[in-house]
Amino acid sequence: MQTRNLIGGEWVGALSGAEFDVVDPATDEVIARAPDCGAAETARAIEGAAAAQRAWREVTAGERAAALRAFADLMRRDRDRLGALMTREQGKPLAEARGEIDYAASFLEWSGEEAKRLYGETIPASARDKRILVLRQPVGVACAITPWNFPSAMITRKLGPALACGCAMVVKPAEDTPLSAIALAELGLEAGLPPALFSVVTGDAAKIGGAMLAHPLVRALSFTGSTEVGRVLMRGGSERIVRMSLELGGHAPFIVFEDADVDRAVEAAVANKLRNGGQTCICANRFLVHESVREAFVSGLVREMGEIRVGHGVDEASRVGPLINDAAIEKVERHVRDALEKGATLRCGGERVRPGPGLADRFYAPTVLEGVTGEMLVSREETFGPVAPVRTFTDEDEAVSIANDSEYGLAAYFFTRDASRLMRVAEALEFGVVGANDALPSTAQAPFGGVKQSGLGREGGRHGMDEYTEVKYVSWGL
């Protein structure tokens, strides 16, 4: 299958005619070819977006909301088709892929509704003959660079608020998952969006990203991906002082206190850890368990993880699909090997599995490691795979101090039945998202984002709208 990009309202290939392969990570089969674009195509998309945005910013909030609602409805109408496409290019099981389509649609719908509440302010002035008005205006053309692990939702979490606020957007999806992004562009047109308002440009990341940062019409860049690339973009954006929001890596702690409902914590741990095969930025990476409930928690985890079916995402029975590429599974192996060499104990998993004939060697068994210490790689770096490393603690201060001992600050989870502890620990954790007796916190209405090296800015909720609006005040002399 040959695909095209939607650039400035037209379906086109790369100017050079170059393309790259899109590969199914479960089978290594080439499933499509996508345009290998660079700086010139990006500039064209930005200039088209700027022209479209001049008209879009005049459209009423109600009309913008209706367009975003129509877009969300089309995604839901095509849930099965979009989910199947996502499973082919990304590997996640079909049920998860369809769930992501609904989740992605919810950002379009919710942001559209919020467009109606982009209120300004009036502020009491210091002189009798003055009035102060505060206006919220669209920033203009915003660009987005998104990762492969949530090929639809990481786009709509940016696109929804951008369009709702009256901005235009140019998106560069990950090289591994261009098809879901192109499918979104088709649905946007079907929903009646002005053709050049939302462009998708696939291809060379450094050239496209560089062109986005250099173009004088670009007012904001929203990036989701690794901290390393976030730093590169921040440096690049410093030249033109591009407004930037960064959703970067994480290294989530998951604390189980001695007074926790351990069965509930086990169930939540498995759902969180194995979502997308462990390849999410908010997957628990460090399980910190009070010594007194260690065996109850670990044996529950081993029992539940052991029952998980690893397999091809298109098989409805699979709960964990392949890792995205060879580098990803090699990293998981390196982390597990390092932990075992440094004294951890393997309670289950710890190896690749071959769930069926004709499948790539990229599936990893859900794994539980016990006796983990702070020196191990699993305690310091994102593993991005189905590995649960368990470390113990003896009191609350120690648990919080281990949890906060990370350069990352995206998500943290803890389980307790003590209400005072719940508030104390929630306040003490240095993370942007805290799940207290909850390990699935992501939702369209809440402000999602990190502190420390996990990023800048928030996505979702009314706070997510701030990234796409400028605050202007008018000092009005009477």
**Residue 194: C-alpha distances to residues 36, 56, 64, 222, 383 (Å):** 25, 8, 11, 21, 41
Stretch of 158-166, 247-255, 267-275, 391-399 lying at the interface with ligand NAP (CB under 6 A): 247-255
Name residues contacting ligand NAP, limited to 149-168 (CB under 6 A): 149-150, 154
Is residue 333 among the annotated active site residues? no
Q: How far is the CB of 398 from ligand NAP (least distance, A)?
A: 26
Exactly one of 205, 348, 428, 436 binds ligand NAP (CB under 6 A); which one? 205
In 10 A of CB 118, how many CB atoms? Answer: 18
Query: With CB under 6 A, what is the number of residues at the site for ligand NAP?
Result: 29
Q: How far is the CB of 117 from ligand NAP (least distance, A)?
A: 24
Exactly one of 6, 145, 211, 310 binds ligand NAP (CB under 6 A); which one? 145
220 versus 410: smaller Cβ distance to ligand NAP: 410
- Please report how many Cα atoms fall inside a 13 Å half-sphere around the Cα of residue 237, on the Cβ side: 22
Report the b/e string of 84-103 with b at 16+ CB within 10 A.
Answer: ebbbbbbbbbbebbbbbbeb
Is residue 247 among the annotated active site residues? yes
292 versus 445: smaller Cβ distance to ligand NAP: 445
Strand partners, 452: 408
Exactly one of 30, 40, 123, 206 binds ligand NAP (CB under 6 A); which one? 206
Does 19 sit near ligand NAP (CB under 6 A)?
Answer: no
- The 430-469 site mask, x for binding ligand NAP (CB under 6 A), equals --------------------x----x--------------
184 versus 281: smaller Cβ distance to ligand NAP: 281
Does 247 sit near ligand NAP (CB under 6 A)?
Answer: yes
DSSP 421-477: HHHHHHHH---SEEEES-S----TTS-B--EETTEES-BSHHHHHGGGEEEEEEEEE
| Both structure tokens of 135 | 């206006």
d(CA 243, CA 452): 18
Q: CA nearest 463: which of 96, 235, 46, 165? A: 165
| Phi, psi dihedral angles at 35 (to 5 degrees) | -60, 135
d(CA 75, CA 184): 8
Q: How far apart are the first and last CA of the chain?
A: 64
248 versus 425: smaller Cβ distance to ligand NAP: 248
Does 382 sit near ligand NAP (CB under 6 A)?
Answer: yes
Q: Which residues bind ligand NAP (CB under 6 A)?
A: 145-150, 154, 172, 174-176, 205-206, 209, 224-226, 229, 232-233, 247-250, 281, 382, 410, 450, 455
Show which residues are catalytic: 247, 281
